[in-house]
Amino acid sequence: MIANQYKEMLQAKSVIRELFQYATDRGKEIGYENVYDYSLGNPSVPVPQKFTDVMMELLATQEPVALHGYSPTLGIPQVREKIAASLAKRFGLPYTMDEIFMTSGAAGAIAHALRAVSVAGDEILTFAPFFPEYGPYVNLTGAVLRVVPPRVEDFQIHFEALEEMLNEKTAAVLINTPNNPSGVVYSEETIQRLAALLRARSAEYGHDIYLISDEPYREIVFDGAKAPCVSRYYENTIVCYSFSKSLSLPGERIGYVAVNPACKDAKTIVQMCGQISRGIGHNCPSSIIQLAVAEVLEETADLSVYEKNRNVLYEELLRLGFSCVKPDGTFYIFPKALEEDAKAFSEKAKKYDLMLVPGDSFGCAGYFRMSYCIAPEKVERSLEALRRFVEECYPNRNMEQR
């Protein structure tokens, strides 16, 4: 009796993965360098050299039994301490190691956070456009994911819709800023208004509504700006962080849960994460990766490449007549397609070796995502294909909509 729930999931195909597979196959025909693959969100710049140096030093100098030994359930204490100290310094909140739980990236962090604050039947609200994996992340806990429709003019929060959808069953609101796929950073005003609303509804319903803040792109913000620190605005915030994007370490599966020290149950929630681990077989990220990352907490890979790509693509898209919200960060851009059916649009683009992901699976039909974590040289080369695609397929497009 194999479990049908998971077997049935095999039928649903990931649009992003399929497109990437197509790009890979096409690459075998014409050379992958000639495929303008904007499908996957894989960092394209190397980890800082210091990380590699620290890894080599740990391997060369540490006693192997200790180096590769079990991490305590919540993570290696000195690693949690260093993360807490770094967060305290950067964001001015009194984090201690007791608010930090080490995880296998943001996916692991969200898996723990969701289980800590919801039970089967509860509702989790998120906002379109959203990372499609939120579906299985939430639904397989037994809670229900409900998606607040997008505010397409700027991809901030559609508050009228949110106010209607919040109810007594709402256990948590899951946000992602800077956002995949829109690249938009929630403004201070958005976060303040969200915090006030959640506080009011928590009081009305007689239970805390948690804010789960998925922040893997926190460090990738452009124009010298910084993303507002969500925890500074709302006490019951659980940050889910990953080093995958900022340090270009997606395969090493390292991140953390950081519960706002102002949350009255902060320490309990971290302890509970340790218990949740026993049920989901998590048992900490790799010990050596924990130790190495702790030495490069204030570093990032060279993220300037993403800003350069954003500038080139955004300008060219506007020039070609696209309507598009300017990304504040990440390595994504989410323009409106040139016809209503973004799947058809994306299908046509494939003929020009352009891989554009239709927005439907992000909960936002009629838009498409480009992941520009690729070499700037390739972005430049792709512009000619983009121009030909648009001019040949949409000669009568409305140049006024932008």
| Residue list 203-242, contact with its own copies (CB under 8 A) | 207-208
- State the pairing for strand pair 100-103/354-355: unpaired
Residue 140 sits in the site that holds its own copies (CB under 8 A): yes
Local structure of residue 202 (DSSP, 8 states): H
Phi, psi of 58 (to 5 degrees): -60, -45
Residues 322-381 that bind its own copies (CB under 8 A): none
The interface mask with its own copies, positions 254-273, x = CB under 8 A, is x----------x--xx-xx-
Q: Closer to its own copies at the Cβ: 10 or 399?
A: 10
Phi, psi of 131 (to 5 degrees): -60, 120
CB of 25 to its own copies, least distance (A): 16
Name beta bridge partners: 5: none
- Of 31, 64, 224, 395, the residue at the interface with its own copies (CB under 8 A) is 64
Residue 161 sits in the site that holds its own copies (CB under 8 A): no
Residue 9 sits in the site that holds its own copies (CB under 8 A): yes
Q: Which amino acid is it at 222?
A: F
Q: Which amino acid is it at 44?
A: S
Name beta bridge partners: 138: none
Judged by CB under 8 A, the stretch of 22-30, 97-105, 224-232, 326-334 that binds its own copies is 97-105
- Of 280, 304, 315, 341, the residue at the interface with its own copies (CB under 8 A) is 280
Q: Given CA atoms 119, 281, 272, 93 in this order, what sign does their dihedral have?
A: negative
Q: What gap in Å lies between CA 390 and CA 396, rounded to an integer? A: 10
Q: Closer to its own copies at the Cβ: 5 or 396?
A: 5
Burial (CB count within 10 angstroms: exposed 0-12, middle 13-18, buried 19+), residue 3: exposed
Q: Which amino acid is it at 212?
A: I
Residue 137 sits in the site that holds its own copies (CB under 8 A): yes
CB of 305 to its own copies, least distance (A): 12
Residue 70 sits in the site that holds its own copies (CB under 8 A): yes
Phi, psi of 241 (to 5 degrees): -115, 155
Nearest to 332 by CA among 369, 387, 381, 286: 369
- Of 148, 211, 249, 320, the residue at the interface with its own copies (CB under 8 A) is 249
Residue 63 sits in the site that holds its own copies (CB under 8 A): yes
Please give the sequence-ordered ranges of beta strands (E in DSSP) within 194-338, or none if there are none.
Answer: 210-214, 237-242, 255-259, 332-333
Judged by CB under 8 A, the stretch of 132-140, 193-201, 211-219, 377-385 that binds its own copies is 132-140
CB of 234 to its own copies, least distance (A): 16
CB of 57 to its own copies, least distance (A): 10
Nearest to 322 by CA among 257, 389, 261, 241: 389
Residue 85 sits in the site that holds its own copies (CB under 8 A): no
Q: Closer to its own copies at the Cβ: 130 or 186?
A: 130
Residues 27-56 that bind its own copies (CB under 8 A): 42-47, 52, 55-56
Q: Which two tokens stand for residue 68?
A: 């590769």
Q: What gap in Å lies between CA 138 and CA 179, rounded to an integer? A: 18
Q: Closer to its own copies at the Cβ: 115 or 158?
A: 115
